Structure 1
Amino acid sequence: MTIEILQTGPLLASCEKALAEKYIVHKLHEQADRNAWLKVNGARIRAHAGSGVQAKLMNALPNLEIISSFGVGYDNIDTATAKAKNIRVTNTPDVLNDAVAELTVGLMISLARRIPQGDQFVRNGHWLNGGMGLFSELTGKTVGILGLGRIGKEIACRLQAMKMRVVYYGRSKQDNVPYTFYDKLEDMARDSDWLVVIAPGGKSTESIVSRAVLEALGPQGYLVNVARGTLVDEPALVELLTNKKLGGAALDVFVEEPKVPEALFALDNVVLSPHQGSATHQTRDAMGALLVANLDRHFAGEPLISPVV
């Protein structure tokens, strides 16, 4: 049986190649009039490959069976509508854990030691006039992790190797983890030198890192966000960084990506990254392969590898 699937945005080349070998793939983002195309062809689509699927698109695809998402986060998919319509949803967890954990540690070292600033210091010839000064290190510091899930645990393991003390905040205390649990995020921030944000996005976590949490972290504290920009009160973050009421921030995600608050550009206590958490050839290829594997399982009538709905 010929199976027709839909993309609404470009995917990794290796993923698109694998999809094209097994399915008839339609690329909605390449259509001049997307609504007209959906009206004529929507009923033939049985699967969506990619992310960012809302109720309007689901309604235009009356025979949609599965949304195979590229990424571990699925807050940009209307999962409630999908569940109501009996549309299955999968994501690509685990295969990106190491890549995100590595970038997190890299961002932390970069911020503590001002590595990007040091690079520019040398390139611009300022070293000829004297050294940059002294900064911080990770050894002996306490790091609070917001979201001790798969990636959070990988981050914690690496930071223990950096001789840091690890504590965590989450919806509930976890058994069999060697870290201190906090049931109040503000308390954890107050007791931590670093706060690493790696919880899922969505309405339930929007602005969970509030002004109060940032103020509790304080002028000697550092924030690292490798989750979603929406988890942090971004205006409060910018204000506190600007006024030196927060020690620093390393940010891989922002509220309105790729737009970044311009006020951050002039700050020397900030390291900025363009949402690079999983951006390695190795990891992205594995994510694409898992997306395709979930589709294959579905159409073969076999259990899905990583279902979320």
Structure 2
Amino acid sequence: MIFGRFLKGNKSISPSHPQTTTPRPDGKKSETPHHAARGAFDGKTVSLYHWTPRDAGQTNFGDELSPLLVRRILDRNGLADVAVQPSGDGPKLLAVGSVLQQAREGDVVWGAGVNGKNWPRRLKTVANLHVASVRGPLTQRALQRFGFEAPAIFGDPGLLFPELFRDEIAQAGETVRRKYGKADVIYIPNLNDESLLPERFALLPEGVTLVSPTTTPVEVAAMVAQARLVISSSLHGLVFADACGVPCRAHLSAFEPIFKYVDYFEGVGRSQYAFHLTIEDALEAADLARVQIDTRPILQAFPFEALGLIPSLDDRNI
């Protein structure tokens, strides 16, 4: 699926308004929307899907957000005794990231999205899926094409991280200043870009500091919070910039389709955006349009009931 056109002598890409054109896998439209099965979770454990890189010991900060966020939300709502564990064979929570291709019978979706590389074809065999919120309208349309109800509650839950982990990020500020020095402009590559094209970052433009996506989420957030500009081919680098109110520009990943980026941009109300082929191009470009993001609907959509949980506190507002 390709969106947009090339600008500036093929140096930048500015997508046009995207449409989800892939049909339902069975070629039909469901007459009755699918609903979630109830009672699939025991109220004592949240089984959470958590993608990890194949390379042993390697992590990607964006994919580390879901267990951290879910744990923090449970703790803030009087559910510290509820365990969060990696998903097994049964129903699971899909939270944060382009992971809907992993959805199976009885699963619960909170803020996750469709990956442009892997269309979630297995959903044609799923009868019960509870969708509390999604990353953006492209994911919503994709789910609707499979016959599922998907509310218009948009936004990557990573937007919650800077506020929910405010104290930890503040404490990490001095650590990252010692580690990186003065870093007004930071570049956060997508994990595949950094892993498979290391020569791309051997010599960055002067004044640009590389922040590896294998850095912890708290340290990445601390770097973003003190930056003047964020350039990123990592989606969650852009998410963190938006959450921290820091200007940002999108660098085109060599490996990631732009579907997930456009899905996120449209979900937060950013109707104009550009992707730049080089970091040098990004340095000369305009910032992505600033957006005012209300994170309360994302937090309020956390699927306590679908997970069999009853919060003893009401701390769902930031």
TM-score (norm 1): 0.32
Which gives a bigger RCO, structure 1 or 2 (Cα 8 Å, sep 6+)?
Answer: 2
Answer with 1 or 2: which has the greater Rg.
1
Give the helix-richer structure, 1 or 2. 1
